[in-house]
Structure 1
């Protein structure tokens, strides 16, 4: 009887082990709504093209987390941490947020794929997502975005008020000259986008870089702040025939 009970207990233990082995790693579980707001990652030990290719074959994206040497701009990089993120989660976050590269996100780094131990939990700014020509994600670069840290951010420009624009109502044409602007921003005041209001523009009007209202802590990084972002033309320019 005792031998029977020991055998039954051993079988149950083996079954539990199999369930644990087949369950997804804690950093890949998607039941929580925070899946779309917190990027999950684990450390990787090796760099180089072969190691990166191996990560991609297993459905992961090689990533790098940069820590700046100080809060002031131009201090350089103090530390690089090699990470790997789940490709499916990263693709979903990119899909959900059109301003992913100008929006600080929460990064949670676990000790390993099967570990619940968290070794880093903080805010980071994604600054680069490299892709293949097919659109597949190649790798990700992030920087620690602690409060007070000055970061150079390429902010996308979004035009609003086209339906109410007097110049466009007259049949004018909106010439979009810049689709993004580069600002030096403190980590706590990074806007996801720069909005250009067209509601009061007539034919012949233009919006210049220094016309855009932003938080006073932001500094426009441009050699010529009087360059136009957009113009309202009387008609669409004729494209030259090649």
Structure 2
């Protein structure tokens, strides 16, 4: 198949901010209270009371170069387990860690005193290996104007119409996410990749993805494929002639 034939039909786009994912995040303002003490015993007590220990800080604190680290409003917090579960049921993984949420830090559980507020991006969810229960959460500040490194999930769509799959091919999912340097206000919850026009042997490369011009792909090689339609059977060679 000619490249121009399938390329004209290829539509690889980023889910826009009007998506249901972003809409759902607007209805979830994470409520948290400060933690004065830390440690395994304190954390276990918080979990027994239906709370999840959490921390929020500036992402550049993770920079390997100490000169790039700046003082930030690091906060040691706890959140309500029921609320976090409700958010995860609504947004679902892995989109939770590419979706911004408003955060309100209250003086105490049920208090009307607001100590601080802002917008955060979930960075990590630590779970118990056996039970799967959330042990703690890590957030980074994601207020407008900040730049963050984000792993944006890749979602493949159009498999039911893919010519290569109808011929018996196999969809090889090479990358499940792409890392971008994003202004906080332009972080896409996900990237939709349309495979409905791919034939056997066709690929979608990182360079094919259309994103907001302010996003910078953090990859050394943008020619790496995201997915490929591969054949599932090998040609049987003809027997050698005597």
Scaled by the length of structure 1, the TM-score of the pair is: 0.78
Unaligned 5+ runs, structure 1: 1-32, 238-242
CA separation of 1:35/1:61 partners in 2, compared to 1, >3 Å: closer, same or farther?
A: farther
Q: Verify the 8 A CA contact 2:25 2:91 in the aligned structure 1.
A: no
CA separation of 1:64/1:154 partners in 2, compared to 1, >3 Å: closer, same or farther?
A: same
1:161 is aligned to 158
**Aligned pair count?**
204
**1:67 to partner: Cα distance:** 3.2
**1:197 to partner: Cα distance:** 1.0
2:53 is aligned to 62
Q: Verify the 8 A CA contact 1:35 1:89 in the aligned structure 2.
A: no
CA separation of 1:103/1:34 partners in 2, compared to 1, >3 Å: closer, same or farther?
A: closer
**1:236 to partner: Cα distance:** 7.0
C-alpha separation between the residues in 1 aligned to 2:197 and 2:122? 35
1:78 is aligned to 71
Q: CA RMSD in A?
A: 2.4
C-alpha separation between the residues in 1 aligned to 2:149 and 2:164? 34
CA separation of 1:95/1:188 partners in 2, compared to 1, >3 Å: closer, same or farther?
A: same
> What's the CA shift string for 1:122-141, capped at 9, x where partnerless?
21111111111121001111
Unaligned 5+ runs, structure 2: 1-23, 235-242
Q: Verify the 8 A CA contact 2:25 2:101 in the aligned structure 1.
A: no
Runs of 4+ residues deviating >2 angstroms: 33-36, 67-70, 74-79
1:129 is aligned to 125
C-alpha separation between the residues in 1 aligned to 2:46 and 2:57? 20
Correspondent of 2:200 among 184, 199, 203:
203
CA separation of 1:56/1:77 partners in 2, compared to 1, >3 Å: closer, same or farther?
A: farther
Correspondent of 1:172 among 169, 174, 179:
169
Q: Verify the 8 A CA contact 2:25 2:99 in the aligned structure 1.
A: no
**1:148 to partner: Cα distance:** 1.5
C-alpha separation between the residues in 2 aligned to 1:207 and 1:94? 30
**1:34 to partner: Cα distance:** 9.0
Q: Verify the 8 A CA contact 1:66 1:77 in the aligned structure 2.
A: no
**1:78 to partner: Cα distance:** 2.2
C-alpha separation between the residues in 2 aligned to 1:34 and 1:157? 19
Scaled by the length of structure 2, the TM-score of the pair is: 0.78
